[in-house]
Structure 1
């Protein structure tokens, strides 16, 4: 099983490179859409002079995100509609500039793919960057289960060489795209955003942080991050992103739900939204999680989501009592035998996927070094001008 799981990971050679102004832009993207945007950015090459239409294969996208194949097509129709409405804001010297992430999104019927085009006004922030940019591994970013962790990771990576970064609370909230009414008190912001992000970075990434609270009078007005670089164990694999959750579930989650931290919260996210407030559901999840563990409850929730017709709460309780999801989960893991597809690394004469990924990584880094001549050589980013 471990071997199969490794195939779900995206190619380790892909790099996401953004101008530092884009790293600090104000926007809010649901987790699934943010992963899609990052996957598009990773397709851009250092010497590209213009954007093209970026083709995302639906099954491929589902595979490296560990998503349910059965609902992925329906999910992509939903993402096609929502992604074109997402806007990010840059604070320029002469005033704020609002730009849409994509100018078009076309689903190709019968081809299992979607074509997406970046808005042309994003060119200065993504193309032919010769300084003041930040680069991160796509594989690392996709491993995070919170959109806030993705954003904070980029903000810290930008200043990794300086080892410290101070950000005003109000500015950090704007960058993270938090609504005014979401965690308005600093104590709640710290508990529900900063601390969980700190925990996830420490567990998964190549950097971690501690922080000091900077007070303006009696209130905390800024955070000073102390950034620590760590070397990941090369033999370990980055955790595959959320497994078994249909893409629509991820796209529809609120910021609070996406950032579920406790095991019970993570299980509650799997329950259809209209049933989460029911006490019978909440009680059943708590009791059976304590008694049988997280995976036991998870499979029975997913089974109920698929099979329940009328009374969801009653069906879920019976599924939890009798472990109806056990055999169903085994059936989901049995894949039909398919004709072997010749992989790209085989077609290009490499001995393995890893050898191909390593070669592509070296090639991409060489290209970045070429376009980055005569500027600060830091690959991981530099401070924003001014």
Structure 2
């Protein structure tokens, strides 16, 4: 509530300041929090297609310093160009250091050098910097950014492994139809645009939702249609999640009576009662959630 966002509108020669949220309501009985974004934030939160940098979350999860994360975000967008300059005043502002580390030597020791080490050790980019002086005073820094190829290769391999695992899981859930590689990676691209980091769980829900439909002559087509519609909702700022009705679905043979052809037991069998614990074992065995 107290964090101030500043948007510089160069074309209009204006500076807009606002808070992230205009209201927050805590519901102690429900254990939930409802919050409202400032209406003027809408253009900056919806349909983001430019003036932003996307990166894989795994690149920053291992970083210990908040300044290192911010450094990563600042420098990642200039990776292809390889160089960017910031005045110390602008750099402090972008890092959010406030009134801390006013002396350059302290700023360098506590913020810049630790971030440089962390990015080199743990992310897919690394940087060096040159001090730009006015007289004897350091007034700006020139950052030289390069790809950390060793870390980048590992991150790509890990990502590929994750998506391959997801494809296998989706095909395990997809009863009676097969999700090809081509279709899957198209879904992944769409899912990331719609749900961001939640795309894996939402793609699982997509398959489970289709499984629950009584008439699914073209399940892949239905999935494509749902993704398209959810994308439209996301662009308009509406809830785009896929809700799945949780049913305790048993395998088809479970509720069928024996037809008398079983050589081991020709008597009619009828299921009258199942202990809850046994039910849960069956659901886990057949991956029904």
TM-score if structure 2 supplies the norm length?
0.52
- Partner of 1:98: helix, strand, or coil? strand
Name the count of aligned residue pairs: 175
1:349 aligns with one of 166, 173, 190: 173
2:189 aligns with one of 329, 350, 362: 362
Aligned to 2:120: 202
Q: Compared with structure 1, are the counterparts of its residues 112 and 358 closer, same or farther at alpha carbon in structure 2 (3 Å cutoff)?
A: farther
Aligned to 1:233: 154
Matches within 5 A, 1:56-135: 84-93=1-10, 94-135=13-54
Per-residue CA deviations over 1:28-80 (Å, capped at 9, x if unaligned) read xxxxxxxxxxxxxxxxxxxxxxxxxxxxxxxxxxxxxxxxxxxxxxxxxxxxx
Matches within 5 A, 1:4-83: none
Per-residue CA deviations over 1:338-361 (Å, capped at 9, x if unaligned) read xxxxxxx7799379xxx9x97764
CA distance in 2, matches of 1:159, 1:350: 42
CA contact (8 A) 1:205 1:232 kept: no
Q: CA deviation at 1:165?
A: 0.8
How big is the alpha-carbon RMSD for the aligned residues of Structure 1 and Structure 2? Answer: 3.5
Per-residue CA deviations over 1:87-122 (Å, capped at 9, x if unaligned) read 122233324321111223333435444333332222
CA contact (8 A) 1:164 1:224 kept: yes
CA distance in 1, matches of 2:85, 2:171: 49
CA distance in 2, matches of 1:132, 1:179: 24
The structure with the largest alpha-carbon Rg is: 2
| Gap runs ≥5 in structure 1 | 1-83, 238-344, 372-386
CA distance in 2, matches of 1:166, 1:360: 39
CA contact (8 A) 1:169 1:221 kept: yes
Q: CA deviation at 1:236?
A: 6.3
Matches within 5 A, 1:237-256: none
Q: CA deviation at 1:126?
A: 2.5
Q: CA deviation at 1:176?
A: 1.5
Aligned pair 1:151/2:151, yes or no? Answer: no
Aligned to 1:183: 101
Q: CA deviation at 1:166?
A: 0.7
Per-residue CA deviations over 1:325-381 (Å, capped at 9, x if unaligned) read xxxxxxxxxxxxxxxxxxxx7799379xxx9x977643246779xx9xxxxxxxxxx
